[in-house]
Amino acid sequence: MSYICPYCNSDDTYLHIKLRDEFLTKEEFEIHGCKYCDLLFTMPRPAPNEIGKYYNSEEYISHNDRQKGLVPWVYNQVKKLNVRNKYKVATKELKKPRILDFGCGIGDFLHYAQRKGCEIAGCDVNENARKIASEKLNIPIVTPEEMFENNTEPFDVITMWHVIEHIDDMKNIAKKLHTLIKPNGRLVVAAPNYKSYDAKYYKHLWAAYDVPRHLNHFCKQSIESVLSNFFQYEKNLPMKWDAYYISMLSEKYAGNKNSFIDGLHTGWKSNRDAKKTGFYSSLIYLFHEYDFEAI
């Protein structure tokens, strides 16, 4: 069965891979690809009033920082290293910018930016994550809808750390984000890269597919396709630590008792391969705002 691309509406699509929700429900899904814009998309796509159940687990680490065990420990160690690099990338050549973290989770990035003296704001769809972040930051964390409706002062920087893959109506959200950012402001987007070595190695067990929570799956070309009507692409940067964490989790899904060691090895191979190809397991994409209506 062929599907219409949810972003560009092209009917020139193909079946990319069949897989299941390894994290929680074990339900079966398919990922299809668009030959026009290079987007991969999950099918069937859960209805908005049903998607919440796929996050309904205390083991969903990005919404809970109190998990115990080896994988959560590794995740949190990597998170500490990543947050410093994220801040440097997002604020380079800017002095204490006003930052919106769209999909802020439990607020770790904003907490770091707050300590650096930045004016911050955050939003997230998950009620539990908003509660944890609000307590951590001592500011109200709102839903995306509330942010779009109530914000009156534009931001110097908007960040989306592994968020865009969760968004259903990307064109509408990109247009709304454009209204929240200052002229020539910076948009920073991080997402898994389905063209990476570890994605091809693990295939249907690649943890970063994470269906159906990840509705969309990106490479450089598809990220540009999705955002180019509203933001000007500048460059991308690697997230090298992600290869190790994603590989370890993929090994766990494969039932490997040596998931830690073998995941480290595959992550190293993925980063080594990416030095030649540029296809790192996850990439940070930098964009700046421009007046698309005037073009």
What domains sit in the chain, N to C, each tagged with a CATH number?
Answer: 13-294 (3.40.50.150)
DSSP code, position 279: -
Give the closest residue to 222 by CA, choosing from 236, 201, 243, 206: 236
Task: Provide the whole-model pTM.
Answer: 0.92
Q: ∠ CA 168-169-172 to the nearest 5 degrees?
A: 155
Per-residue pLDDT of the chain (295 residues; tens, 9 = 90+): 789 999 999 999 999 999 999 999 999 999 999 999 999 999 999 998 899 899 888 776 554 555 556 666 776 777 777 899 999 999 999 999 999 999 999 999 999 999 999 999 999 999 999 999 999 999 999 999 999 999 889 999 999 999 999 999 999 999 999 999 999 999 999 999 999 999 999 999 999 999 999 999 999 999 999 999 899 999 999 999 999 999 999 999 999 999 999 999 999 999 999 999 999 999 999 999 987 654 4
